[in-house]
Amino acid sequence: MDLRHLRSFAALAEERHFGRAAARLHIAQPALSQQVKQLEREFGVELVSRTTRRVELTEAGRRFAEHARAVLGSLGRASADMALLASGRAGRVAAGFIGTATYDLLPQAAREVRRLLPAVRLDLHGELLSPALLTGLLDGAYDLAVLRPDGVTRPEIELRVLRAEPLIAVLPDRHRLAGRDRIDLAELATEPFVTHFSGHRSSIHEHVLAACAAAGFQPASLMEVGETATLVVFVAAGLGVALVPEPVRSLALAGVAYVPLTAPPTVRLALATRAGETSPAVHRVAEIVARCT
């Protein structure tokens, strides 16, 4: 038995007429009759009772017709699913986002993927640091990552710079400068700073220190945290001030004020994928993420 026999019998079960079924299948009527006889010999049961005017299904024929329709339906669904997969409209994509992209880019991209690629399963991971994202991309935990590209020169990784983000000040809302439209970074020279982790654990830490140095000072003290949301909470608690990329404004939290700088340094945001990525779904999701910036 092959798929051709299944399709032939399913057509005959619907038409109940050899001539109409053969025309529908674009084969000769004797060929269709021969296929049905082959099935009957294979199963050892009569599937149809033949008359000069009409074909009636036996009990075995009715049951086999159900099996044939189920198999053909599954085959059709499998074929459609494979077509979706090949076009990038189905599959699974794991995406990781640094903390500062978690608040604006992640929800925008997730909504667009859900709207445009409803059959793609998108596994989202937010509030991560760039080094951890890079490691996860290389070991397969993530298929794409939105991160800071500083120092990323590995040939296994393809980078696409998405945008340059100005740094802004985060101040307690009762701070003396909280009501200003814009401040000079040097005005924070005597303030304690809350920053992301130093060293290889975060890329933004060095940007903050470089910005302060360019403004002519070194922070009086530093408190390091892992997550951007925690950093903003600490500022709201009055434990210091901070510099963050401008999209962190999306994290609206009581007790803080976001104040632009007069001459803000910028940090780059990039989309990273594995070099030679073959998944069409990953490429489609990557394009959506890029368009959302």
Q: Using one digit for the tens of pLDDT, what is the confidence trace for 110-147?
A: 999 999 999 898 999 998 888 889 999 999 899 999 99
Going by C-alpha positions, the residue among 230, 231, 234, 228 that lies closest to residue 247 is 228
175 pLDDT higher than 80:
yes
CA distance 87 to 234: 46
The predicted pLDDT at position 80 comes to 67
pTM value surpassing 0.85: no
Please report the domains of the chain, with CATH numbers, ordered by start residue: 3-87 (1.10.10.10), 91-162+269-291 (3.40.190.10), 165-266 (3.40.190.10)
CA distances from 277 to 83, 87, 122, 140, 157 (A): 19, 14, 17, 11, 10
- CA 5 vs. chain centroid, Å, equals 42
Region 17-37: what's the mean pLDDT?
88
In contact, 274 and 157? CB cutoff 8 Å: yes
- What residue type is assigned to position 78 of the chain? A
The predicted pLDDT at position 209 comes to 94
Contact residues for 143 (Cβ-Cβ < 8 A; gap 6+): 93, 94, 95, 137, 273, 274, 277, 279, 282, 285
